[in-house]
Amino acid sequence: MRISLKQAGALLQEAQNIVITAHVNPDGDAIGSSLGVMHYLCSLGKRVRVVIDDDIPSNFAFLNACDIIEKPKVAENGNKEQIDLLLILDTSMDRVGKVTETFSPTRILNIDHHVTNALACPAVYLDADSAATAEIIYQLLRELNAEISKKIAMAIYTGLATDTGFFRFSNTTPFTMRAAADLLECGAEPGIISEAVEAKPFARVVGMAKAIETTELLHDGRLAGIFLDRPAAELLDSTEGLIDALRAIEGTDVSVLLKWKEDGVFRISMRSKKTDVSKVAAAFSGGGHEKAAGCTLRMGFAEAKRTILEALEKAMKSG
C-alpha cells in the first residue's frame, strides 16, 4: 500500500529496533540514503543497523560505510531475528538478497524513487519524480524537523550527487540543487565526496582501459557494450565507471555492461539517452529508471549476452 511521507515518518518514529537495507550491488544512493537515515535515527536513541547483502565499495570509506554496514547472517536453524521495523531503501523488497531470510520485522517500510518498484511491501512511499532516494530522505528529515548533522549531510549529499552524475544527468531538478545547497550549509564537503567516489587504484584504471578496448558497437553504433566473462571479470576489482565511459561515446543511445558475478550469474547495467531501459530490466526482475537500469541473468555467458542484446534491440526498435 502506498503511504504519504508523513506516514513514513510516523513509522520510523514509532519503531525502536530498526534494520535498514538496500539493494545488492549497492551504489552511492543506496549507501548514502541508508547511512543518512541511520545517523538520524541513532540520534533519537534508537537501535539501528544497516545490513546489505553485498560488498561495500572501498570508495565509501569516507562515510565509514565499510565499518558500519553489516552483511546478513542467516541462522543455521532457520530462526529469524525479531525487529520492530525493516526499512528498505532504493529498491523493491525482492532485491535485498538474504536480508529477508535473516530478520522477522513487525513492520516493513519501503522508500524508493524507482518507477519499476513492485509495490510489494505493506507500506511504500514511492516518488518516481525524485532524483534519488537520498532526495526523498532529505525531504523526510525536513518533514520531521530533524537537525541535519555533518554526518547526515555528507551521506545524503553523496546519494544525491552520485545518482545525478554530480548534477549532470537529466533527473537533476531545481529542487535537487536547492537540497544540495542546504546540505552544503549543513556541512557536506563536495570536494571530499567527489574525490573519494571517483578515485581508482592504478591497477583498476589499467583494467578498465583493457575492458574498454573490448567495447562492441552494434546497430550502426547506437548500442555500445562491454561483455565480461569470468576470466575478464576476474581481472577487474571493480567495474565502477565503465558503463559511464560507454555512455559518453558519440552517437550511442544505449550502453550495456554484462559482467560475470559467479558461475551462471551475470549482472547487467544499462544506460540510455532515449530508449526506456527500465522496461528491459523489469522483464528480467530488475529495476531502475528510464535511462539507467539493471538486472541479473542466471544463465551461461553466451546465452546471457544474446538474451540482453535481443531485449535491447527490441526496446530500441519499439522506442
DSSP calls for 187-249: T--HHHHHHHHH---HHHHHHHHHHHTT-EEETTTTEEEEEE-HHHHHT-S--TTHHHHHHTS
Joined together, the cell numbers standing for residue 225 give 557494450
User: Rounded to an integer, what distance in angstroms lies between the CA atom of residue 6 and that of residue 301?
Assistant: 46
**Statement to judge: residues 130 and 257 lie in one domain:** no
The angle, 0 to 180 degrees and rounded to 10, between the axes of the packed helices 133-143 and 28-43 is 20
Name the DSSP class of 71: P
**Statement to judge: residues 51 and 194 lie in one domain:** yes
Query: Which of 198, 225, 250 is the last residue in one of the domains?
Result: 198
Full domain range(s) for residue 120: 5-198
**Statement to judge: residues 257 and 186 lie in one domain:** no
Joined together, the cell numbers standing for residue 145 give 524537523
**Statement to judge: residues 149 and 92 lie in one domain:** yes
**Statement to judge: residues 137 and 186 lie in one domain:** yes
Query: Which of 198, 228, 257 is the last residue in one of the domains?
Result: 198
User: Rounded to an integer, what distance in angstroms lies between the CA atom of residue 241 and that of residue 165?
Assistant: 11
**Burial class for 87, CB neighbours closer than 10 Å (0-12, 13-18, 19+):** buried
CATH of the domain at 167: 3.90.1640.10
**Statement to judge: residues 228 and 307 lie in one domain:** yes
Alpha helix (H) residue ranges in the chain? 5-14, 28-43, 65-68, 99-102, 133-143, 150-163, 174-185, 190-198, 202-212, 230-234, 242-247, 277-283, 301-318
**Statement to judge: residues 28 and 174 lie in one domain:** yes
**Size of the chain in residues:** 319
User: What pLDDT, on the 0 to 100 scale, is given for residue 15?
Assistant: 98
User: Rounded to an integer, what distance in angstroms lies between the CA atom of residue 209 and that of residue 237?
Assistant: 13
**Statement to judge: residues 9 and 150 lie in one domain:** yes
Query: Which of 148, 172, 198 is the last residue in one of the domains?
Result: 198
**Statement to judge: residues 180 and 206 lie in one domain:** no
What's the start-to-end Cα distance of the chain, in Å? 31
User: What pLDDT, on the 0 to 100 scale, is given for residue 319?
Assistant: 67
**Statement to judge: residues 110 and 206 lie in one domain:** no
Q: What is the mean pLDDT of each run of 10 residues along the chain (319 residues)?
A: 96 98 94 98 98 94 97 92 98 93 97 90 95 98 97 98 93 97 98 94 87 94 96 83 88 96 94 94 88 93 97 90
Domains in the chain: how many in total? 2
**Statement to judge: residues 170 and 230 lie in one domain:** no
Q: What pTM did the predictor assign?
A: 0.87
Digit-coded pLDDT (tens) for 139-188:
999 999 999 999 999 999 999 999 999 999 889 999 999 999 999 999 99
CATH of the domain at 303: 3.10.310.30
**Statement to judge: residues 207 and 184 lie in one domain:** no
User: What pLDDT, on the 0 to 100 scale, is given for residue 285?
Assistant: 87
